[in-house]
Structure 1
Amino acid sequence: MNLAIMIGRPGVLVVTGLLIFALLLAPLLTADLAFAEAPGSGQRPMDFILVHSGDCKEACIEWVSAEGKISADTPKLFAALLKSLNGRKLPIVIQSGGGDVNAALAVGRMIRKAGLETEIGRTQLKDCPTLNPRCQETVSDNDWSEGVVRAGGAYCLSACPFLFAGGSVRVAARNAYLGVHQITTVRQEYEADGSKRKIVKETTSTKLYPALRRELAVYFDQMGISNDVFAMIASAIPQDMHIIQTDDALKSGLLTKVSTDGELGVVVCGSAANAQCQQDSAGKLRTPANLGSVQSERTTRAPEGPYEDKSCYDVNRAYESTHDAGRHLSKIYGVPPDGPPKLRQELQAMDGYIFARSGSGIWKRSKRTVVRTTLDDRTGQPIFTACRYQGVEDINGEHALRYWALWRRHGWEAFVNVWISKSSGRNVQVLSHYRQGLGESSYPVELETESYDRGTVLEPEDLFVRQEQLRRVQGPVQAP
């Protein structure tokens, strides 16, 4: 989160041909307070969608989906939503990587005044692809959209917890993510340059500015949240994130209820509803057929190495098993904010060699090394940390265990979702959201898919034959 203070210094102003020396003494506090980039912060600005799941003639679940980066326009959009609700009390289901703090506080106050609940959840609209779950073409401007809502894996980070705090009841699952980090204060000294101001010096500090601290303290008190949150904010540098444990969130009052996937949204009984619907609606009791205990799917063995994060046992074993698989094909796609994924790199592992190419360039061969550790060979630190199990999902017809984790390697950092095959224990796909400036490529989001079908992995001689054929037709192909 950036806090800007502009301090004046002697400058020269030209007024009707006269030179006037001006000393600007009063510091100015900008209204644009924004957290540093977090996963998903490359997303669209936050918008609000009315969503339902099920047949509303009998009974359905309804909620307001609020996802995206919190901006200066968010309070105005939310005020319009409240007006359209005409007093109806639907829960606000939130997923956001943060944004403008003033806007988050303003929306939080509006939520509290309206007496609405807030819930951390991710919405998947009907007929939208996995990589774009709230695709705009399925959103109805003046009507309800159809979809499902899930608690597991959803996140509310940086400035988002301030907005979330406005709920009269604040709900999140144990495998959702609520995170904060330090505030960065930016002090700017400037001088007058004609009719404009020119910045001549800029300094930054992670010390919490007193005026903002007082404002946040008042806000937390109004929302029934303890000042323990300040210690949580101070515990992580601006480039990192303090993921608040569920028990700590409950103790501080930031969270008031722990949910499951079956408890987000509100049950609405239609004209054809039976008595059971009325009972479920009153108690918010919902148990979808696909919801159940999945703890038995997980491996609970102890970590193999002294430095391995014990929560990441399954992820680490899948990482090693994938890299050591006899033959497999990896495809890495860059995922732009808008538009389809673009193939960035292909890797084909065959026996003792790895064949790689970028885009449609030439294949390059290198010797294959067996992966025996999940530690970064440069730092000696774990590559995967803070892993959390999300449940079982179907990926291209294959049942896969989904995990969320922090990933660090060779100075790069990302929040990742890993899908591991239940049958083979190998990775099926990995979706990575890189921290700003710490990505392996120019794409902030990357998707890596794995195939272990030997028929899709060409023999080395076939690669060279195909490459030679391309040379004859197109001429020499240079590596990008």
Structure 2
Amino acid sequence: MLLHRLAGYGSILGKLRCILLAFLLSILVASPVLAAKKQAKEPVLPSMQFAIVRSAVSSCEPACPEWISASGVILGDTPAKLQKILKKMGDRKLPIVMESNGGNVDAAMEIGRMIRKRGLDVAIGKTRFEGCSPDQKNCKPDRFSDGAYAGYTFPVGAYCLSACPYILAGGEKRYVGQWAFVGVHQITQIYTQTKITYRTRYRIVNGRKKVLDTTIVGRKPAGSYEKTDLSKAYRQKLLTYFTQLGIDPAIVDRMLVIPAKDISVMTPEELVQYKLVTGTGDVSDVAATRICEQDPRPASCVELKPAGPKA
């Protein structure tokens, strides 16, 4: 029940309480968050972090592949984090090497559109950092003159689950390979409720109530609940998203028949069928040192000199 405090006089106080309470209840609104993975009662996982990484294989110098590492849970602020990295990347076109267990669907679709707008490729893979990594406090990579982290990529055991495939769909070229996994299930809508405490001041003038002001004096969580049945409008939003990116919109039905508590790993044949991949390659097609031996070199092969010695 919403708490409230009233200042007033006479016998109308009890009646006024009832009227005010009805009003307050009418403005209690649950705020929905669309998540393709149920998070309740699960350990808190790291939010998605982005970093520009350069191959640590020194034999490829002076021209080595670089990529954007993306790993972690997709949250509402994840698109802003990616935008920051894209700004740092400038006019270069670096592929995104991603691993994620899911998160916020709307944020994932926003990221997917950002990636497609920039014409970037996406590969499901793991990035292993050499030296310090982005999640380490005060880590300042200094091996390369462009400030990139040093690292390696590999496909074995990499995963893209739940909301993650919505990002994968945004890639200009999309790679998974036989050693990585893409898993889907239905979307969970998590509604969070907030209990609001109001203070209303009023005075009685000639027997009539005159409200002076109403102030919010406190907010506190009031629990949450979940739903998995999507509105027609939101379902259409998903269909439109995949259609515009060139993905078979039938993938929505494939996702929504899987209970939220389960994950269905898509077969290589399904990935091709729904056009979620553009070929049979894997992360090595965008980040292996051999790609820089091609003529012409891919845009992700960046030629530079190692950073100088520390002062």
TM-score, normalized by the shorter chain, greater than 0.5? yes
Q: Equivalent residues in 2 for 1:212-251 (5 A)? A: 212-251=234-273
Cα distance, 1:241 vs. partner? 0.5
Cα distance, 1:110 vs. partner? 1.0
Check whether the contact 2:52–2:85 (CA below 8 A) recurs between aligned residues: no
Q: What is the DSSP-based 3-state SS (H/G/I as helix, E as strand, rest coil) of the residue aligned with 2:297?
A: helix
Q: Distance in 1 between matches of 2:49 and 2:167?
A: 14
Cα distance, 1:33 vs. partner? 3.8
Q: Distance in 1 between matches of 2:233 and 2:7?
A: 39
Output the aligned Cα RMSD.
3.6
Check whether the contact 2:193–2:222 (CA below 8 A) recurs between aligned residues: yes
Structure 1 residue aligned with 2:121, among 93, 117, 122?
Answer: 117
Matching residue of 2:37: 35
Aligned partner of 2:37: which letter? F
Say whether 1:279 aligns with 2:295.
Answer: yes
* Cα 1:262/1:201, change in 2 over 3 Å: closer
Cα distance, 1:45 vs. partner? 1.3
Matching residue of 2:75: 71
Aligned partner of 2:153: which letter? V
Q: CA offsets, 1:424-477, max 9 Å, x none?
A: xxxxxxxxxxxxxxxxxxxxxxxxxxxxxxxxxxxxxxxxxxxxxxxxxxxxxx
Matching residue of 1:106: 110
Query: Could you tell me the percent identity over the aligned residues?
Result: 33
Matching residue of 1:136: 136
Q: CA offsets, 1:170-214, max 9 Å, x none?
A: 111122111111223456788765446788896544322333212
Aligned partner of 1:256: which letter? T
Q: What is the DSSP-based 3-state SS (H/G/I as helix, E as strand, rest coil) of the residue aligned with 2:160?
A: strand
Q: What is the DSSP-based 3-state SS (H/G/I as helix, E as strand, rest coil) of the residue aligned with 2:50?
A: strand
Matching residue of 2:86: 82
Cα distance, 1:43 vs. partner? 3.5
Q: Which of the pair has the greater relative contact order for Cα pairs under 8 Å at 6+ separation? A: 2
* Cα 1:150/1:139, change in 2 over 3 Å: farther
Q: Distance in 1 between matches of 2:262 and 2:140?
A: 34
Cα distance, 1:152 vs. partner? 2.2
Q: What is the DSSP-based 3-state SS (H/G/I as helix, E as strand, rest coil) of the residue aligned with 2:253?
A: helix
* Cα 1:189/1:265, change in 2 over 3 Å: closer
Greater share of strand residues, 1 or 2? 1
Q: CA offsets, 1:302-351, max 9 Å, x none?
A: xxxxxxxxxxxxxxxxxxxxxxxxxxxxxxxxxxxxxxxxxxxxxxxxxx
Cα distance, 1:88 vs. partner? 0.7
Check whether the contact 1:188–1:202 (CA below 8 A) recurs between aligned residues: yes
Q: What is the DSSP-based 3-state SS (H/G/I as helix, E as strand, rest coil) of the residue aligned with 2:179?
A: coil
Matching residue of 2:50: 48
Check whether the contact 2:115–2:170 (CA below 8 A) recurs between aligned residues: yes
Q: Distance in 2 between matches of 1:48 and 1:59?
A: 22
* Cα 1:193/1:135, change in 2 over 3 Å: closer
Matching residue of 1:210: 232
* Cα 1:30/1:207, change in 2 over 3 Å: closer
Aligned partner of 2:136: which letter? Q
Tell me the matched-pair count.
264
Q: Distance in 1 between matches of 2:191 and 2:63?
A: 55
Q: CA offsets, 1:260-312, max 9 Å, x none?
A: 4531327699xxxxxx824273599xxxxxxxxxxxxxxxxxxxxxxxxxxxx
Q: What is the DSSP-based 3-state SS (H/G/I as helix, E as strand, rest coil) of the residue aligned with 1:255?
A: coil
Q: Distance in 1 between matches of 2:29 and 2:61?
A: 59
Check whether the contact 1:50–1:63 (CA below 8 A) recurs between aligned residues: yes
Q: Distance in 1 between matches of 2:121 and 2:265?
A: 22
Matching residue of 2:286: 264
Taking structure 2 as the reference length, the TM-score comes to: 0.71
Cα distance, 1:16 vs. partner? 5.8
Q: Distance in 1 between matches of 2:191 and 2:90?
A: 43
Q: What is the DSSP-based 3-state SS (H/G/I as helix, E as strand, rest coil) of the residue aligned with 1:94?
A: strand
Cα distance, 1:122 vs. partner? 0.2
* Cα 1:135/1:280, change in 2 over 3 Å: farther
Cα distance, 1:227 vs. partner? 2.1
Q: Distance in 2 between matches of 1:208 and 1:139?
A: 44
Q: CA offsets, 1:128-162, max 9 Å, x none?
A: 7xxxx876266639711111101221111111111
Q: Distance in 2 between matches of 1:150 and 1:108?
A: 22
Q: Distance in 2 between matches of 1:69 and 1:279?
A: 37
Q: CA offsets, 1:33-66, max 9 Å, x none?
A: 462249x974321111111113464331211111
Aligned partner of 1:254: which letter? L
Q: What is the DSSP-based 3-state SS (H/G/I as helix, E as strand, rest coil) of the residue aligned with 1:103?
A: helix
Matching residue of 1:60: 64
Q: What is the DSSP-based 3-state SS (H/G/I as helix, E as strand, rest coil) of the residue aligned with 1:98?
A: coil
Q: What is the DSSP-based 3-state SS (H/G/I as helix, E as strand, rest coil) of the residue aligned with 1:166?
A: coil
Q: CA offsets, 1:380-422, max 9 Å, x none?
A: xxxxxxxxxxxxxxxxxxxxxxxxxxxxxxxxxxxxxxxxxxx
Q: Distance in 2 between matches of 1:45 and 1:190?
A: 24
Check whether the contact 1:152–1:173 (CA below 8 A) recurs between aligned residues: no
